[in-house]
Structure 1
Amino acid sequence: MSEECGLATVDASGLQRRSPGKKKIQRRNYHSSGPNDTWHIDGNDKLKFFGIWVHLCIDGFSRRVLWLKVGTSNRKQKFVARYFFDVVVELGGCPRLIRSDRGKENLVVGEMQTAFHVRQLGDQAWQCFRMGTSVHNQRAECFNSMLKRTWIKKWLTRFEGMMESGILELDNPVHINCLQYTHLEMLQEDLNIERTVWNSHDIRKQRHAPGPFGKPDVMYNSPPPGFADMLCPVDDDLLDFSQQIVSEENEHLRVANEEFQDLCGAILANSRFPHTLNGCFAAYLKLFEEITNCMNRNMLQTPSTFAEANELYKIMLRERE
């Protein structure tokens, strides 16, 4: 391209806007008709190197967190669909609209949401599920940012301390599986507390930001005048069909294969570690020490993948029996 026809000539203002430090996300005012008008779903993978993933859903109007789950993945479509299914059953209906990013893990939720509305909206039911960039998924991103500063930071510091002491190796699938098995339930309980605290705290009025403001639980259950609950009922036959395409209950907390779970149950059967942070840590030490000793006795090499680790657990369980 000649100098006369360069971008500096044909699009000088656009070039200036795109220059480093000049490009800014356009902020928009958020509008909602009431509770259950829009649900925002998103995942958090800041602890993924430890085999720990978080997924959440927040009501756009009240900012009430509807689910906050930890598991062995937030990339599996059936796991996310299970979270959605459980909340729909609990509330007795689904939202008018679901907003998510473009991750493939949300596709089954999109199919379910569309099916729940197809009898009322027909060919327009697809409009009840919207995918877009994460930066415009305002409500979910706001809560995710808070989670990174508090809950994520706390557990990241703890796990990094285990790495520095040499008792946790990220490239060892056995260590990751032991960490998941001993800590996931405690992590979920901790997230339940985070959800309760968030849903009961006061959201204060902000300059240039439209309301309403107050406690998420209160705004969700008792919307102020001028707003209405937008929950859409779901037919029982659609719920019955949906149950066939979601994961089993608590499947997102199951670690590795059945042999690993049986092996861990046998190792910890008589230990009775307390269900506390220190108890989970002690259980982790017990597990990986016993499994490492078993590998050394049988001259088994350290697995490099989780698939190899699953085969190793089968061998160790047969030896223990």
Structure 2
Amino acid sequence: MKNEGQFDGDFLDKNLVIFCFLGIIQDKLDATVDVWNSHVIRPSKNDKVPHGRPSVMYSVPELYDTQDYLCGITPHGVNACKEDCTFRSTFACDEDVFRLCTLIVAERNLDIANEAYKALDLYQELKQVLSTLL
């Protein structure tokens, strides 16, 4: 996109990329997590290295002759962590850009893309429409 002059990295471009592509990226990341957590780690020559499915190894550590290493935390500790955290907004991109894009998608009967080339088409259309409005 950048090489073809469709993306220059300004505020609008960055937010349109987030609006159009973030769902696809998140779906791919979620799929990767699912594959990783359900794959089988084969036994090793080293007897001390566990083998099995990561999700099972985490959920039922006693099957692997180990303990659950989760630590309890007090409500005070939870509150302290909450104070130090920055939580995600309801909107992945700028709220105004999100609302404008959602409005344009609805008005033009566009679909939120579920694959990269469709997301690129959506990006280009939204950029063109918003460029004429702004």
The interval holding the TM-score normalised by the smaller chain is 0.7 to 0.9
Q: Which amino acid aligns with 2:103?
A: A
SS in 2 for 1:269: helix
Please give the TM-score of this superposition, normalised by the length of structure 2: 0.77
1:217 to 42, 55, 68: 55
CA distance in 1, matches of 2:64, 2:41: 18
Higher RCO structure (Cα 8 Å, ≥6 apart): 2
Q: 1:291 maps to which residue?
A: 130
SS in 2 for 1:202: coil
| Seq. identity, % | 23
CA distance in 2, matches of 1:252, 1:214: 37
SS in 1 for 2:84: coil
State the Cα distance separating 1:281 from its structure 2 match: 2.4
CA distance in 2, matches of 1:237, 1:168: 46
1:187 partnered with 2:25: yes
Q: Please list the CA deviations of residues 133-175 of structure 1 after superposition, one character each: whole Å capped at 9, or x if unmatched.
A: xxxxxxxxxxxxxxxxxxxxxxxxxxxxx34444333x44432
Q: 1:259 maps to which residue?
A: 96
1:234 partnered with 2:73: yes
1:268 partnered with 2:74: no
CA distance in 2, matches of 1:207, 1:282: 51
CA distance in 2, matches of 1:175, 1:225: 49
SS in 2 for 1:184: helix
CA distance in 2, matches of 1:168, 1:254: 19
**1:273 touches 1:282 (CA, 8 Å); kept in 2?**
no
RMSD: 2.6
Q: Which amino acid aligns with 1:198?
A: W
CA distance in 1, matches of 2:4, 2:47: 47
Cα distance change, pair 269–212 in 1 and its aligned pair in 2 (3 A): same
**2:20 touches 2:113 (CA, 8 Å); kept in 1?**
no
CA distance in 2, matches of 1:179, 1:244: 30
Q: Which amino acid aligns with 2:97?
A: F
Q: Please list the CA deviations of residues 82-132 of structure 1 after superposition, one character each: whole Å capped at 9, or x if unmatched.
A: xxxxxxxxxxxxxxxxxxxxxxxxxxxxxxxxxxxxxxxxxxxxxxxxxxx
Cα distance change, pair 268–225 in 1 and its aligned pair in 2 (3 A): closer
State the Cα distance separating 1:228 from its structure 2 match: 0.7
**2:40 touches 2:53 (CA, 8 Å); kept in 1?**
yes
1:178 to 16, 38, 47: 16
CA distance in 1, matches of 2:13, 2:123: 9
Cα distance change, pair 178–274 in 1 and its aligned pair in 2 (3 A): closer
State the Cα distance separating 1:214 from its structure 2 match: 1.3
SS in 2 for 1:243: helix
State the Cα distance separating 1:177 from its structure 2 match: 2.0
Cα distance change, pair 279–227 in 1 and its aligned pair in 2 (3 A): same
Q: Which has the higher strand share?
A: 1
Q: Which amino acid aligns with 1:179?
A: V
Question: Structure 1: which 5+ residue stretches go unaligned?
Answer: 1-161, 295-315, 317-321
Please give the TM-score of this superposition, normalised by the length of structure 1: 0.36
State the Cα distance separating 1:253 from its structure 2 match: 5.8
Q: 1:72 maps to which residue?
A: none
